[in-house]
Structure 1
Amino acid sequence: MKTITMADVAQHAGVSKSTVSQYVNQRYDYMGEKTKERVEKAIAELGYSPNIIARSLKQKSTTTIGVIVANILHVFSTQVIRAIEDFCNEANFHIIVCNADDDPIKEKKYMDMLRAKQVDGIIVFPTGGNLALYQQLVQDNYPIVFVDRMVPEVEVNTVLLDNEKAVRMGVDLLVEKGYQRIGMVTPPLEESVTPRLERVSGFKQALKANNQNFDPNLLVSEEIENIRIKLDELLQQPQRPDAILAVNDRVLFEILHYIKEKKLSIPDDLGVIGIDDVTFASFYSPSLTTIAQPAFEMGKKTAELLLNRIQNKTQEKETKIYRFEPLLMQRDSC
């Protein structure tokens, strides 16, 4: 079959080729309604499809961005991605989502792939393991925004929760409720994973502010698959915790599974607060007190920063850390 061109549409509609081009690129400022209808009808009748690759080359833009998430299993990550997609869709941009599994090698492969596909910019939940690559992107004036994690050596706009405040809200509530021995459970404390480090730091500060001593025996830092084993050890101690803060949603899942297995009662046997407002928190029995991240607002801000950077095409004079406020969702688990 003959490929339908823009010239064919123009001839069929009785308009100029430039008018068809303006219609395809949604530039309607000086186009009458009847002209728009004729072009639209011609496109439908001929089955014309714009050559996206040719248009990208001409405009020097693919209207596509990449999003590399550290671990897509987190509820927070999927909510941020959804907000990014919503914002980009409104701006007629597309997104390609990649999951790095917290693996710097995989992250680098995705970065190389996305740049080979000539995406206009990249949003990254950085693993922290590709410092030279991040710095090269900045040096090349390539649009990039970090979310959820900081890389202090790289001058990039970064969107984060106020992690220390989130933990402080949880500790304050537990102390107010009369809990005396508050524990925390987290995946391994890695330098590159900003939320874990900041939340543990905030935990220690919040205990001190509430005149409670930090007991290292009540802090569990372990791989997700081993958390239930460590919880068993934690709760077998003579001075066991009477409440636990879960650093993120995946840790909370493990704590809830453990409590069900051991037939413990929340909050009678153990008070529980999770950071990340999981979707089932309000109808779990008992309903779960959580510290919510404003994930959709954070995702929107991240996309806005990147698209502004792409469309302005200028090197930023100053990069910023954008901190978002956590929200206490007080329910029945403590």
Structure 2
Amino acid sequence: MKKITIADVAKQAEVSKSTVSQYLNKRYDYMGEKTKKRIQKAIEELGYQPNFVARSLKQKSTKTIGVIVANILHNFTTEVTRAIEDACHGADFHTIICNADDDPVKEKHYIEMLRAKQVDGLIIFPTGDNRDLYQQMLDASYPVVFLDRKVEEMPVTAVMLDNERAAELAVDHFAEKGYERVSLMTTSIFNHVTPRMERIEGYRSALRKNGLAVEEEYIVSADQDEMQEALEKLLQTEQPPEAILAGNDLVLIEVLKYVKHKGLRVPEDLAIIGIDDVSFASFYTPSITTVAQPTFKMGRMGAELLLDKIDKKDKQMSPFYRFEPKLMVRDSV
């Protein structure tokens, strides 16, 4: 079968090849409506498929960005990547989503693979353990934006939550309700992941501010598959906590599973607040108080910052963009 070319489309639409090229690249500000309809009709009748590889070589752009997320199971990740995709689609960019599972080896593989595919830029939820690759991108002025996390002494533009404030909002609410023994549970801090470390610091600071003791045994960090055992150990101590701040959505799910399995009443036996406003929080019984992140705003800003870098827009960018969390008061406290 003969390959249909721009010349074939131009001939059928009775226009020049340059006019068809302008139409395909959406540069039709001065193109009449009838001309556009003729070109579109010719494309459909001939079954023309643009050669994106050839166009990419010519334009020196693949119109594609890569997004390397830390853990695609997080509700936060799902909503942020949706916002990134929406913003990129609006700018006529495609997205490739890769899940690193908080594994530096997987992250390294995806960075190298996406750059080999000549994506125009990367949004990374960094593990922090590939500093040489991050530095290579900086040295080459390659467009990259970090999301949700930063890497110390690495001047990459990052979009993040005010994590200390998120923990503070939760602890303040517990204190206002009269709870004194408050625990913080988070997933593993082995790699010193920014949000987890900052939330621990915010938790400690807020306890002190409210005149509450900082009990190190109440700060629990564990992998998700170890969370039930960690909860059992925490709640069987001589003075168990009266309240738990779940550091993210995956921890909250594990806490609620434990509560159901043990037949505990919320908040009578155990008060709970989760960071991340998961979809079920409002209709779970009792409804769960959460600290919400503006996920869609964060994702959109990450995409817009990267697109600006790709377009080489000469605008001053802050090293960090912090977003304010919001306490969603419900019935679990």
TM-score by length of 1: 0.98
AA in 1 matched with 2:331: D
List gaps (5 residues or longer) in structure 1: none
Corresponding residue for residue 14 of structure 1: 14
Query: Does the alignment pair 1:324 with 2:323?
Result: yes
Deviations 1:101-151 (A, max 9, x none): 111111111111101111000000001110011001000010000001111
- Alpha carbons 1:151, 1:192 under 8 Å: kept: no
TM-superposed deviation, 1:74: 0.5
- Alpha carbons 2:127, 2:191 under 8 Å: kept: no
Corresponding residue for residue 333 of structure 1: 332
Corresponding residue for residue 308 of structure 1: 308
Identity of aligned residues (%): 59
- Alpha carbons 1:159, 1:322 under 8 Å: kept: yes
CA distance in 2 between partners of 1:202 and 1:251 (Å): 18
CA distance in 2 between partners of 1:22 and 1:235 (Å): 67
CA distance in 2 between partners of 1:175 and 1:121 (Å): 45
Corresponding residue for residue 173 of structure 1: 173
Distance 1:76 1:318, change over 3 A: closer
Deviations 1:176-212 (A, max 9, x none): 0111111111122235400010000000000000001
List gaps (5 residues or longer) in structure 2: none
CA distance in 2 between partners of 1:318 and 1:32 (Å): 39
SS in 1 for 2:241: coil
Query: Does the alignment pair 1:236 with 2:231?
Result: no
Question: Aligned residues, how many?
Answer: 333
SS in 2 for 1:281: coil
CA distance in 1 between partners of 2:217 and 2:43 (Å): 69
CA distance in 2 between partners of 1:130 and 1:258 (Å): 36
Deviations 1:261-286 (A, max 9, x none): 00000000000000001110000000
CA distance in 1 between partners of 2:280 and 2:179 (Å): 25
TM-superposed deviation, 1:234: 1.1
AA in 2 matched with 1:141: S
- Superposed counterparts of 1:253-292, under 5 Å: 253-292=253-292
- Alpha carbons 1:167, 1:203 under 8 Å: kept: yes
TM-superposed deviation, 1:92: 0.5
Structure 1 segments (4+ residues) deviating >6 Å: none
RMSD over equivalenced CA pairs, Å: 1.1
SS in 2 for 1:264: coil
Corresponding residue for residue 124 of structure 2: 124
Corresponding residue for residue 36 of structure 1: 36
CA distance in 2 between partners of 1:317 and 1:299 (Å): 19
Compare 20-29 and 185-194 and name the one that shifted more: 185-194
Corresponding residue for residue 48 of structure 2: 48
AA in 2 matched with 1:97: I
TM-score by length of 2: 0.98
CA distance in 2 between partners of 1:313 and 1:300 (Å): 17
- Alpha carbons 1:190, 1:197 under 8 Å: kept: no
AA in 2 matched with 1:301: M
Query: Does the alignment pair 1:215 with 2:215?
Result: yes
